[in-house]
Amino acid sequence: MEKTKVLFVSQEIMPYLPESEMSKVGRHLPQGIQEKGKEIRTFMPRYGCINERRNQLHEVIRLSGMNLIIDDTDHPLIIKVASIQAARMQVYFIDNEDYFHRKKVLLDDEGQAFADNDERAIFFARGVLETVKKLRWAPDVVHCQGWFTGLLPLYLKKAFNEDPLFTDTKVVFSMYDDEFSTTFSKDFAEKSLIEGVEADDVKVLENADYLAINKLAIDWSDAVIMGSPSINGDLLAYAKDSGKTFMDYKNGDEYVQAYSDLYDSLVSE
pLDDT at 1: 65
Contact 5, 141 (CB under 8 A): yes
- pTM recorded for the entire structure: 0.96
Query: Which whole number is the average pLDDT over 80-95?
Result: 94
Mean pLDDT, rounded, of the chain? 95
Given a cut of 70, whether residue 167 has pLDDT beyond it is yes
The domain that contains 112 carries what CATH number? 3.40.50.2000
Of the candidates 22, 17, 16, the residue with the CA atom closest to the CA atom of residue 146: 22
Q: Which domain covers residue 214, as residue numbers? A: 5-267
Q: Which residue has the higher pLDDT, 181 or 16?
A: 16
Task: Count Cα atoms within 13 angstroms, Cβ side, for 52.
Answer: 16
Q: How far is CA 207 from CA 14, 42, 236, in A?
A: 32, 31, 18
Structural domains counted in the chain: 1
Tell me if residue 123 falls in helix, strand or coil. Answer: helix
